């Protein structure tokens, strides 16, 4: 670990009076809604949905527990807009999901006493396959081409007229460096990182049709979200997924939806317009996008400013700013595993740990939110901007708001470590906050698609579970981890937590 980030920075928590006077705990407009505070829990996938993408009791418990901390806004995890199998990720691609989601919104409303606005993040993603066994790739998946034949014949002239089956076996036997000269770059990528569809694969009819198909899919999903009782939706235009790929500088589509900046923003605007038209004027419609893709030749802050301004002009209710999290620079997965977009430099910027560098993760990405907000204000737009990335203290959050970096402060991992941290601050009991140590134990679980938990909860393995109706403490499959953070009683005498030096 970098010496400068070995310890968490010490911080001063506000008194109850200071919290009452803080911008952080003041109300704010979010499109047609008014939030109680400017505190925000951004989307986090906990891997608790059923295999069919339905809400489970564990999903209720997860979000009810966050709601008990009374954030101004809570965003439900990335939820798939299509009705296709996608493992234990929540889905909203059919009307049959509405009753389960309605129970979820009721559970959250009950847990927060109606004081938390609840959004759901709507996501579309393209097909991705696990990294194949080389034998399977060469014997079954690879289409043998004249280029392969010609390149192999340069290595061994007797292969010029050989059967495809012979060529497949020869390629299977080649060294990695030889293969790099025989396979096309995309084929090599499919072999070493697993097959992955791109939005630029316009030779595939369903990829060519994305601009036509996505607006109604997002619109129908948003309509269901409103029926289910959500206060709004966050359109997922960030990280490694379809909509972010359209916004990206890497988008070279030639059908009017790629290339020039305004063409890249076009689908994002059309999706927003389709959604806006499908829901009532009381319903919040915002988006999450990338301030910087952090990959070679990818989008930078100038692109993000353009897209944010275009969306603001179209009437978007908020822009939430994230960073990185791309497939392009992700680590090669092991054979049999799927590539995970948070393992390369861009992924490390998305969920920065204390190891990242001397600056550490704390408020690391706020400059991007600030640049976008400044540009919006200069253009006369009041669109709220949400900032995130290593926000773990009152000082950092309040400073971000006071200096105009953002209008809402989003905190994912600190809220995971301690969902009550917002309340503790508001009540002048910040000394009791269980402080996130930013070493990404939770993110490693996400990577393996295992139930996400926080390592700090297990220090109080037997403390009551405040979402449990029968007193049982929900545990992971192996029984060794808590699935829900320990209870915290706001009426109890204050308890002091161990100081940062002992973390």
Ligand X SMILES: Cc1cc2nc3c(=O)[nH]c(=O)nc-3n(C[C@H](O)[C@H](O)[C@H](O)COP(=O)(O)O)c2cc1C
Nearest residue to ligand X, scored by beta-carbon proximity:
412
Query: Per rule CB under 6 A, is residue 278 in the interface with ligand X?
Result: no
Residues in the chain: 503
Helix (H, G, I), strand (E, B) or coil at 153: helix
The answer to whether 408 and 38 have CB atoms below 8 angstroms apart is yes
Question: x/- contact string, 353-392, with ligand X (CB under 6 A)?
Answer: --------x--------------------------xxxx-
Bridge partners (DSSP) of residue 287 are 235, 319
Q: Phi/psi at 404 (nearest 5 deg)?
A: 80, 25
Candidate list 19, 28, 30, 43; residue touching ligand X; CB under 6 A: 43
Exactly one of 5, 411, 453, 467 binds ligand X (CB under 6 A); that residue is 411
Question: Where in 439-498 is the site for ligand SF4 (CB under 6 A)?
Answer: 439-442, 454-456
User: Smallest distance, Å, CB 392 to ligand SF4?
Assistant: 9
Contact call for residue 410 and ligand SF4 (CB under 6 A): no
Place of tokens 């308890």: 495
> Shortest approach of ligand SF4 to residue 456 CB, angstroms?
5
Q: How far is 459 from 440, CA to CA, in rounded Å?
A: 17
Check: CB of residue 75 under 8 Å from CB of residue 120: yes
- Which of 189, 293, 446, 465 touches ligand X by CB under 6 A? 446
- How far apart CA 469 and CA 487 sit, in angstroms, is 13
CB–CB of 271/310 below 8 Å?
A: no
Shortest distance, CB of residue 46 to ligand SF4, whole angstroms?
12
Number of helical H runs and strand E runs in the chain: 19, 10
Q: Which of 84, 67, 68 is nearest to 76 (CA)?
A: 67
Residue 439 touches which of ligand X, ligand SF4, none (CB < 5 to 8 A by kind)?
ligand SF4
Give the residue carrying structure tokens 């009041």.
382
Name the minimum Å distance from CB 180 to ligand X: 34
Stretch in the footprint of ligand X (CB under 6 A) among 112-120, 131-139, 168-176, 406-414? 406-414
Residue 437: name its binding partner from ligand X, ligand SF4, none (Cβ under 5 to 8 Å by kind). Answer: ligand SF4
Q: For the chain, first and last CA: distance in Å? A: 14
State the Cα angle at 248 between 219 and 415, rounded to 5°. Answer: 70
Residue 217 tokens read as 């899919």
Closest contact distance (angstroms) between CB of 175 and ligand SF4 is 40
Question: Contacting ligand X (CB under 6 A), which of 8, 45, 311, 456?
Answer: 45
Which listed residue (322, 346, 393, 467) binds ligand X by CB under 6 A?
Answer: 322
* β-pair partners for 255: none
Report the residue from 412, 417, 483, 484 that binds ligand X according to the rule CB under 6 A.
Answer: 412
| Part of the chain binding ligand X (CB under 6 A), chosen from 36-44, 98-106, 130-138, 492-500 | 36-44
Give the Å distances, CA to CA, from 21 to 25, 254, 430, 501: 8, 53, 15, 30
Residue 455 binding target from ligand SF4, ligand X, none, CB below 5 to 8 Å by type: ligand SF4
Restricting to residues 419-448, name those near ligand SF4 by CB under 6 A: 436-442
407 scored as a contact of ligand X (CB under 6 A):
no
Query: DSSP assignment of 4-58, as one string?
Result: GGSSPPP--PPPHHHHHH-STTS-EEETTEEESSSEEE-----S-S-TTS---HH
Should residue 326 be labelled a site residue for ligand SF4 when binding is judged by CB under 6 A? no
Q: Which two tokens stand for residue 501?
A: 């030096």
Q: Which is nearer to ligand SF4, 127 or 444 (CB)?
A: 444
Reading the block at residue 282, the tokens are: 């009381």
Segment 458 to 487, residues that bind ligand X, using CB under 6 A: none
Contact residues: ligand SF4, CB under 6 A: 413, 416-417, 436-442, 454-456
List residues binding ligand X (CB under 6 A).
42-45, 77-78, 121, 238, 288, 322, 351, 361, 388-391, 411-414, 442-443, 446, 452
């Amino acid at each position: 670990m970098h010496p400068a980030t070995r310890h968490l920075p010490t911080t001063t928590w506000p008194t109850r009076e200071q919290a009452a006077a803080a911008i952080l705990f003041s109300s704010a407009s979010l499109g047609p809604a008014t939030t109680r505070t400017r505190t925000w829990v951004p989307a986090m996938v906990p891997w608790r949905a059923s295999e069919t993408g339905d809400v489970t009791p564990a999903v209720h418990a997860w979000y009810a527990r966050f709601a008990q901390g009374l954030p101004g806004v809570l965003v439900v995890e990335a939820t798939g807009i299509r009705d296709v199998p996608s493992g234990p990720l929540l889905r909203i691609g059919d009307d049959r999901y509405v009753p389960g989601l309605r129970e979820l919104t009721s559970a959250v409303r009950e847990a927060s006493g109606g004081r938390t606005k609840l959004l759901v993040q709507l996501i579309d993603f393209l097909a991705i396959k696990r990294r194949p066994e080389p034998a399977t790739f060469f014997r079954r998946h690879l289409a043998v081409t004249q280029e392969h034949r010609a390149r192999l014949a340069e290595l061994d002239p007797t292969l010029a007229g050989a059967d495809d089956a012979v060529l497949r076996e020869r390629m299977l036997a080649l060294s990695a460096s030889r293969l790099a000269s025989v396979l096309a770059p995309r084929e090599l990528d499919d072999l070493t990182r697993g097959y992955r569809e791109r939005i630029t694969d316009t030779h595939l009819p369903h990829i060519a049709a994305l601009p036509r198909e996505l607006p109604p899919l997002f619109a129908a999903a948003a309509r269901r979200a409103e029926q289910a009782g959500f206060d709004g939706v966050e359109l997922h235009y960030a990280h490694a997924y379809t909509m972010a790929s359209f916004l990206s500088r890497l988008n070279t589509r030639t059908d009017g939806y790629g290339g020039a900046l305004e063409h890249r923003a076009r689908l994002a605007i059309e999706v927003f317009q389709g959604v806006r038209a499908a829901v009532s004027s009381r319903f919040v419609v915002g988006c999450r996008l990338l301030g910087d893709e952090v990959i070679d030749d990818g989008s930078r802050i100038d692109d993000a400013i353009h897209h944010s301004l275009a969306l603001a002009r179209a009437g978007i209710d908020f822009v939430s700013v994230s960073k990185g999290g791309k497939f392009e620079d992700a680590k090669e997965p092991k054979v049999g595993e799927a590539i995970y977009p948070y393992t390369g430099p861009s992924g490390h910027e998305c969920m920065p740990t204390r190891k990242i560098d001397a600056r550490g993760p704390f408020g690391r990405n706020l400059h991007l939110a600030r640049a976008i907000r400044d540009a919006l204000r200069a253009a006369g737009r009041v669109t709220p901007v949400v900032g995130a990335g290593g926000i773990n203290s009152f000082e950092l959050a309040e400073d971000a708001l006071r200096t105009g970096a953002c209008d809402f402060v989003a905190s994912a991992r600190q809220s995971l470590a301690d969902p009550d941290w917002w309340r503790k601050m508001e009540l002048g009991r910040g000394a009791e906050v269980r402080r996130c140590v930013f070493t990404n134990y939770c993110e490693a679980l996400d990577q393996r698609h295992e139930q996400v938990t926080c390592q700090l909860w297990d220090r109080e393995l037997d403390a009551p579970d405040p979402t449990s109706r029968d007193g049982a403490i929900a545990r992971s499959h192996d029984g060794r981890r808590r699935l829900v953070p320990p209870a915290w009683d706001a009426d109890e005498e204050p308890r002091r937590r161990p100081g940062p030096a002992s973390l």
